[in-house]
Structure 1
Amino acid sequence: MNTVKCFIIDDQEPACQLIAEYISKIPQLELVGICHEPMEALAIVQQKQIDLLFLDINMPVLNGIQFLKTLKNPPNTIFTTAYSEYALQAFDLKVIDYLVKPIPFDRFVTAVNRVFDLKISIPADPIPIENEFPEAQFTDFSFFKTNQNKLEKINFNEVIFIESHGEYARFHTNKKISVSRVSLNRLEEIFPKGNFFRVHRSFIINIDKIDAIDGSLIEIDSYKIPISKSRRDDLNKLILHNDL
């Protein structure tokens, strides 16, 4: 595959150097530039071919969230920040991931792998198999069409969370990440209620996999997932009901 062209925007030089070092360790990534000033970076990002943007949030004049909103066709973006409280706003912008500093290398690799997942070739009409065979009633698993038109079995108890990205859904399981073209609305109907809960318009989580809840963020596996204000009370009630 072609290398993923990366660009870093961060006003702190040590943070830039760390991300640059991480990029250099992954052969599929190519660093094409670093910029410390978001206003200066605006013109560069619009002119260069950039596949993946590593973007700080707390910067002078124009913060990372404001910066991303100014771009008409933003590249795949991973926020890198010392502040967890912006996660809800960040995921509303459909970013690839949200990394909280200090960023360990394994967490960086997990985020980058999500970019590679976006490049998987997916058929035009991957529909859950229940739609094709209504008589098949599965309680512990379902089949979804994934890349190369393959039907893949997804065991519900192995799913950590499901993430929406445009028309596609990513199933994060204990073993791997699978991608299918199916809406979260449809998945809410398929996955067992009581075990799975939609905490945000872009995320459904497996309640059994929650490690901790910190304000507006759920810690699950190595991820921090935002909770919408409108769903927070319902999640708390569900957790208390399940005696987690």
Structure 2
Amino acid sequence: MTKIKCLLVDDEPLAQELLKNHISKIDRLEVIATCSTAMKAFEIISTQKVDLLFLDIKMPSMTGLQLLKTLRHPPKTIFTTAYREYAFESYELEAVDYLLKPITFERFVKAVDRFIRKEATVLPSATTAAEKEYILLKSGTKFHKILLDHIVYVESLKDYVKVYLEDGKKVLSKYKIGSLEAELPATTFLRVHRSYLINTQKITAFTLHDIEVGAVEIPIGASYKERAMAFLDRLK
């Protein structure tokens, strides 16, 4: 089995160690180098084959985003950061995924699996719903398998979340909206209010004060307005 050659770029030693620990549990992954600056990463990428780049954003001298923009042929990249607000810029750079620190092993595996599936040669007819990304949410005594692209929006109800699906179904689960937000890909799901998390692919209309997903108008909270507007400006 061909190993996937990984480069880890992060100025935090503990973050590097966590990623190396995660990678050590997956046979297909191999760490070829680690570094703490974008300039050193540039040197490594220029001289070695890198299949998958794990890239922090906020680093001294040059950010991870700036590094990626300077590369003529950048490797596939998974961003690793504590800052959610750069998610949409990373999406424009065609990042594989955007992981928020602290990175759990489960979320790490999902990102790596996304990379592997994107790189694999699969006939369109062989792609099934079961191969799409999903989450498992417990409601009562049942665990519900929910495809991410079927989610329209999520509403917070104190210690619970209600997930609204495009077929009209709703799933109520004892889960904090902040915890669910951290598990969902930041390139697709946007927190626009303390009580609402939306699937940006379902946006049908918007104003300065609310966003329409499907036939529902979701208010934009004051503390989330800057982030929401930054994303919506890209749709114009």
Q: Same fold (TM over 0.5)?
A: yes
TM-score between both structures, scaled by the size of structure 1: 0.61
> C-alpha distance in 1, partners of 2:84/2:3?
30
Query: Which residue matches 1:88?
Result: 88
Partner residue in 1 for 2:213:
238
Q: Return closer, same or farther for 1:19/1:221 CA change in 2, 3 Å cut-off.
A: closer
Q: Does 1:3 align with 2:3?
A: yes
CA shift at 1:32, angstroms? Answer: 0.2
User: Judging changes above 3 Å, is the alpha-carbon distance between structure 1 residues 231 and 94 closer, same or farther for their aligned structure 2 residues?
Assistant: farther
2:181 match: secondary structure: strand
The structure-2 alpha-carbon separation of the partners of 1:231 and 1:64, relative to structure 1 and needing over 3 Å to count, comes to farther
Map 1:1-244 → 2, pairs under 5 A: 1-123=1-123, 126=124, 145-146=125-126, 152=128, 154=129, 171-173=132-134, 219=181, 222-224=184-186, 225-226=188-189, 233=206, 236-238=211-213, 241=216
* 1:40, distance to aligned residue in structure 2 (A): 1.8
Moved runs in structure 1, 4+ residues, more than 2 A?
Answer: 170-177, 205-214, 218-228, 230-243
Q: Which one-letter code corresponds to 1:237 in the other structure? A: E
Task: Give the Å deviation of 1:104.
Answer: 0.8
CA RMSD, Structure 1 to Structure 2 (Å): 3.7
Q: Which amino acid aligns with 1:74?
A: P
Q: Following the alignment from structure 1 to structure 2, what is the Cα–Cα distance between the partners of residues 90 and 232? A: 23
Q: 1:119 to 1:176 in 2, by over 3 A?
A: farther
What's the TM-score, normalizing by structure 2? 0.63
Q: Aligned-pair distance for 1:59?
A: 0.6
Structure 2 runs not aligned, ≥5 long: 136-144, 154-163, 191-199, 219-236
Query: Equivalent residue for 1:163?
Result: none
Distance 2:3 2:31 in 1: 10
Identity within the alignment, %: 35
1:219 partner amino acid: E
